């Protein structure tokens, strides 16, 4: 009925699921909605412009999906449990890495990294390369987005002139590299990205992503079928820490959750 925006609806679901701006470990999670970071202009009438919202980030390509299914079926020796992903789509370090150019997130990121910035090549420096890593290239990267991608242009600029380092190809890190359709303008990027979120295509398919993150495909047999299972430690509300007597195991689980992320409560 268009009585609420997709952005407001996602924020409402995040809040219901226990996500909050006040907790880096349970920060609001938003989806990648676009798959086109190379065109000069965006075509919202072309389905190929958009990410497949019915699949998690680990299954955006056929080959990548096959590899994660193979991992699940083989249960690699170094894994303590059967799952598709040993990393998470939202964690304190992911949030801080996206917002690293703004305080207080700069200090948060450095403290999580042991007191300094990360190696330049691993820093968030390009929207396109981050999409390619999370959707195709990096088997340990299945990250989603945060709300700021849809309303806050300031996090894309290095207004504080932090020395973020130099990449191996000689590129000095500064402002985040934007897709061609943004014309190098963070405000235009946010405007078009928000329009994409509110587009007819996303409105018609967003419920599939909600099923994966907040709904019935979050765990159990539906999650296995959707290639959407994570390490058991990520399911914080499914683990009764009070019944774990071994302090070492308990601290390990808590450390795992704080470092690598937590599945939202099922709505």
Q: What is the pLDDT of residue 9?
A: 98
Q: Is residue 1 part of a domain?
A: no
- Look up the domain containing 60 and give its range: 6-260
pLDDT at 35: 98
Q: What is the pLDDT of residue 28?
A: 98
- pTM of structure: 0.92
Quote the pLDDT of residue 120: 85
The answer to whether residue 17 sits within a structural domain is yes
Whichever domain contains 58, its CATH number is 1.10.1540.10
CB 29 within 8 A of CB 264: yes
Structure tokens at 234: 């990520």
Assigned domain for 155 exists: yes
- Nearest of 55, 14, 65, 51 to residue 263 by alpha carbon: 14
Q: pLDDT at position 79, please?
A: 55
∠ CA(49), CA(262), CA(88), 5° rounding? 45
The answer to whether residue 214 is domain-embedded is yes
Counted domains in the chain: 1
Q: What is the pLDDT of residue 261?
A: 79
In a domain, 208, yes or no: yes
Mean pLDDT, consecutive 10-residue stretches, the chain (267 aa), reads 94 97 94 98 97 98 96 71 90 95 94 87 94 96 98 97 91 95 98 98 98 96 96 76 77 74 89
Is residue 265 domain-resident?
no
Angle at the Cα of 39 from the Cα atoms of 36 and 41, rounded to 5 degrees = 105
Q: With the C-alpha atoms ordered 204, 1, 32, 94, is the resulting torsion angle positive or negative? A: negative
């Amino acid at each position: 009925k268009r009585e609420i925006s997709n952005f407001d609806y996602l924020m409402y679901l995040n809040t219901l699921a226990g996500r909050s701006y006040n907790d880096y470990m349970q920060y609001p999670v938003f989806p990648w909605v676009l798959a086109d970071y190379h065109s000069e202009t965006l075509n919202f009438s072309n389905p190929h412009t958009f990410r497949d919202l019915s699949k998690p980030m680990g299954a955006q390509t056929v080959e990548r999906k096959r590899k994660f299914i193979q991992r699940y079926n083989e249960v690699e020796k170094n894994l303590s449990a059967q799952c598709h992903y040993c990393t998470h789509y939202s964690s304190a370090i992911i949030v801080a890495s996206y917002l690293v150019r703004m305080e207080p997130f700069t200090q948060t990121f450095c403290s999580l990294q042991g007191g300094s910035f990360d190696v330049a090549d691993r820093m968030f420096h390009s929207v396109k390369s981050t999409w390619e890593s999370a959707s195709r290239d990096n088997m340990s990267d299945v990250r989603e987005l945060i709300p700021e991608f849809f309303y806050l242009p300031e996090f894309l600029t290095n207004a504080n002139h932090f020395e973020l380092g130099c990449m191996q190809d000689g590129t000095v890190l500064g402002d985040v590299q934007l897709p061609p359709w943004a014309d190098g303008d963070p405000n235009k990027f946010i405007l078009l990205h928000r329009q994409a979120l509110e587009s007819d295509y996303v409105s018609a398919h967003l419920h599939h992503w909600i099923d994966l993150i907040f709904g019935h495909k979050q765990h159990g047999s539906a999650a296995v079928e959707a290639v959407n299972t994570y390490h058991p430690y990520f399911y914080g509300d499914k683990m009764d820490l009070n019944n774990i007597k071994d302090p070492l195991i308990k601290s390990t689980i808590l450390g795992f959750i704080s470092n690598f992320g937590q599945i939202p409560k099922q709505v």
